Structure 1
Amino acid sequence: MSKVIKHKWLHWTRVLPILAFAALIVSWIYHPTAALVLAVLTILLIGSIIASVHHAEVIAQKVGEPFGSLVLAVAVTVIEVGLILTLMASGKGSATLARDTVFAAVMITINGIMGLSLTVSAARHSTSRFSALGSGGALATVTALAGICLVLPRFTVSDPSPSYTPSQLAFAGVASLVLYGLFIAAQTGRHRSSFLPIDEDGMPIDTDDDSWTPTTAATLRSLGFLLIALVAVVGLAKILSPTIEAGVAAAGLPPGFVGVIIALVVLAPESLAAVRAARQNRVQVSLNLALGSAMASIGLTIPTLAVAMIWFPGEFYLGLGSTQIVLLVMSVLLAMLTIAPGRATRLQGGVHLVILAAYIFLAANP
């Protein structure tokens, strides 16, 4: 878990969620349309996302690793699901919004967070070292989830569109929860040592940086502020959703790019946490964050949306396009080659970042 230090300036992480929540209540009443007001709401939205991840880090520092990475991954996924559901509820989300957002999260985590973390770590410490067993198990779970939820819907024949029938969607939701549950059991149970940072000899380091361990009272306060921040994020996203889509359209970008924007905003704070861990030569924590977020993005989002479709009738496409499938296969193969040796250099990190750049470019210019 990346180091969380107690500083006086961190009071903004308490003020911003409260301001965002108050702005949310006022906005629900008056429905603002002025550009300046919407800009302020956008700043409060981004600030609340960053604050929510900080409070998740405080909780994570209390419970230790690998539970800390799990807390961050789940917190970020809650934000992602909330953003998707609010856009769907507003009637502004496209039939492929959920697919595009989940796929964007997978590409950003596997190629962006992993690639940036490996590059930063190798630049400072020559070679990045991590547990091939733990990271390989996480990658295998992500691959299975992506195949079931994002690839197979493209090839099923019960529905001519790239989507599952209700029964198939129910199976995918249950299978996602089972896979995610199996991974959590391994990560926090008997095989916990496989997800801990390792030393130069490849031995797990079962100690976290405890230069500051939050008290129980501080942890409970962070839990409260985390809940306030998450509510503010979801609510403000619903208010700003027309602005997001209008901006994408004005820029001449395809509607699917909305999913990329959502994933980039939501995962930005977690990316910073992963880079901080990499700078401290704790690459395993970075990989836990990257692969754990990809896993939670699919394993929790798809079951939630499967249930939500009961109240949100309409088209719900999950199957990836041919270009997206190629990018996914390339990403998984590269990740396998990166993780298998248990160590990596800047070369592997740079390759992942190039694949991320290719994904974003093709998302904007399909």
Structure 2
Amino acid sequence: MNRLRLLLPELATLSIGAGVLALLSFTGVLEWLLAGSASTIVLGLILLGSVVVVLSLQVARQAELLAEELGEPFGTLVLTGSVIVIELALIGSTMLTGESNPTLARDSMFSVLMVALTGITGLCMALTSRMQKKDRDQPMRVEDLAATNKAGAMVYYNLIGTMSVLVLIIPNFSNDSPEGNFSLPLNIVLSVTALVVYGLFLFNQTGAYRGFFMEMFADEGGNPESRHHAELEGGPWQAAALLMGTLAIVVVIAESMGQLIERGVNELHLPSSLAGILVAMLILLPEAINAIQATRKGKLQRALNTLYGSVLSTISLTVPAVLLIGEVTGTKVILGLEQYEMVLLSLTLFLLRPHSRVLGSEGLMLLVVFLFWFVLELV
């Protein structure tokens, strides 16, 4: 009885999500919203977005508990896998049911990269640097700066840099096929390569090289306050069940939001890239919350594992999926970025080169790049 009482907030959140899901699935509310005016669509997005925020907070809480129970990098892999499910559901449903948009997958992937690698990572680095300075009267020393596991950061950096260039830049310079894409044989090679690279990465991350992705100076004793659900005594299975249940609801609601986003962008005559940005923000919401919470607790490595892992899985798993859907349905897919986007991606990769210690200026410059990217996407 005591355990059930402690679970009431989580069960209440699930009930709210299930109620909204039933409303969208078994009534004509979604069709009414899609057929409505621009103001109606915006109102629907705000209401559904609020529900997704509440559900995402619960996903982040349960993912944090799993990370505490399972240890790194297994804990963050659960959240990364959860987020890629949302992304594939959003992009796949829009490609299958929405209007033809050949740049949807590219815009969504690039938006995930920029939001995660410049916006959220920049914020986490800036927060970490700010938290390190506890005594304003004493000068900052190198050993006072936040430390990251440079070996793990280098692995992520090499894989993300290589795959993002192959997927988003090289198609623009290939003579194999026009309009920023490869021919079918090269797309098959690209898809197989992406899957194999990601599979090998997971094998190494959870095996012999697991230590590369753990905190440099782990707190062996643990912080009991960070185990905010430890009193439930349900262990990782309870957290996993709550996470999966909440995530399943988020996925279906996100699909409805994807349709509303696309309809709203067309109705208001906004840049098509805005749809990709909104989809990316919706996708990354649970991870953003989790990464910021981890950073505030001094666990920057966990935050970076979450963000970099999400970006790598986005590139490696989304590309094969969208290319397959495009081939089966006859939908045109464009992967190559615009010229200014290629420059911004290159600048982002340059700023993210691994260091042993994190400086506040790195986070600030990443946030500057994020700001310019966001503004340029809207003009």
TM-score if structure 1 supplies the norm length? Answer: 0.87
Map 1:1-366 → 2, pairs under 5 A = 9-27=9-27, 31-33=31-33, 35=40, 40-92=47-99, 94-126=101-133, 127-199=145-217, 209=223, 211=227, 213=230, 217=234, 219-249=236-266, 251-336=268-353, 339-340=354-355, 342-365=356-379
The 8 Å contact of residues 154 and 163 in structure 1, kept in 2 or not, is answered as yes
Q: What SS class does the counterpart of residue 311 from structure 1 fall into?
A: helix
Letter paired with 1:21:
L
- Taking the aligned partners of 2:294 and 2:129, their CA distance within structure 1 comes to 12
The 8 Å contact of residues 86 and 254 in structure 2, kept in 1 or not, is answered as no
- Per the TM alignment, residue 16 of structure 1 is displaced from its structure 2 partner at its CA by 3.2
Of 261-270 and 239-248, more deviation after overlay is shown by: 239-248
- Taking the aligned partners of 1:362 and 1:214, their CA distance within structure 2 comes to 48
Deviations 1:203-261, CA, capped at 9 Å, x for gaps: x5677656455878554444444444444333333434443124334555311110011
The 8 Å contact of residues 23 and 41 in structure 1, kept in 2 or not, is answered as no
Of 59-68 and 105-114, more deviation after overlay is shown by: 59-68
Q: Which residue of structure 2 lines up, in the alignment, with residue 3 of structure 1?
A: none
- Taking the aligned partners of 1:135 and 1:348, their CA distance within structure 2 comes to 15
The 8 Å contact of residues 98 and 318 in structure 1, kept in 2 or not, is answered as yes
Letter paired with 1:15:
S
Q: What SS class does the counterpart of residue 160 from structure 1 fall into?
A: coil
The 8 Å contact of residues 16 and 47 in structure 1, kept in 2 or not, is answered as no
Say if 1:16 and 1:52 are closer, same or farther in 2 by CA, change over 3 A: farther
Letter paired with 1:138:
Y
Letter paired with 1:329:
S
- Taking the aligned partners of 1:296 and 1:21, their CA distance within structure 2 comes to 27
- Taking the aligned partners of 1:31 and 1:171, their CA distance within structure 2 comes to 40
How many equivalent residue pairs? 353
Aligned-residue Cα RMSD (Å) equals: 2.6
- Taking the aligned partners of 2:180 and 2:12, their CA distance within structure 1 comes to 45
- Taking the aligned partners of 1:286 and 1:122, their CA distance within structure 2 comes to 14
5+ residue gaps, structure 2, are: 1-5, 134-144
Q: Which has the larger radius of gyration?
A: 2
The 8 Å contact of residues 73 and 289 in structure 1, kept in 2 or not, is answered as yes
Of 309-318 and 119-128, more deviation after overlay is shown by: 309-318
Letter paired with 1:88:
M
The 8 Å contact of residues 128 and 296 in structure 2, kept in 1 or not, is answered as yes
The 8 Å contact of residues 196 and 205 in structure 1, kept in 2 or not, is answered as no
TM-score if structure 2 supplies the norm length? Answer: 0.84
- Taking the aligned partners of 1:166 and 1:62, their CA distance within structure 2 comes to 44
Letter paired with 1:363:
E
The 8 Å contact of residues 23 and 29 in structure 2, kept in 1 or not, is answered as no
- Taking the aligned partners of 1:70 and 1:206, their CA distance within structure 2 comes to 21
- Per the TM alignment, residue 84 of structure 1 is displaced from its structure 2 partner at its CA by 0.5
Say if 1:207 and 1:311 are closer, same or farther in 2 by CA, change over 3 A: farther
Say if 1:144 and 1:28 are closer, same or farther in 2 by CA, change over 3 A: farther
5+ residue gaps, structure 1, are: 1-5
- Per the TM alignment, residue 30 of structure 1 is displaced from its structure 2 partner at its CA by 7.5
- Taking the aligned partners of 1:185 and 1:214, their CA distance within structure 2 comes to 33
Letter paired with 2:376:
L
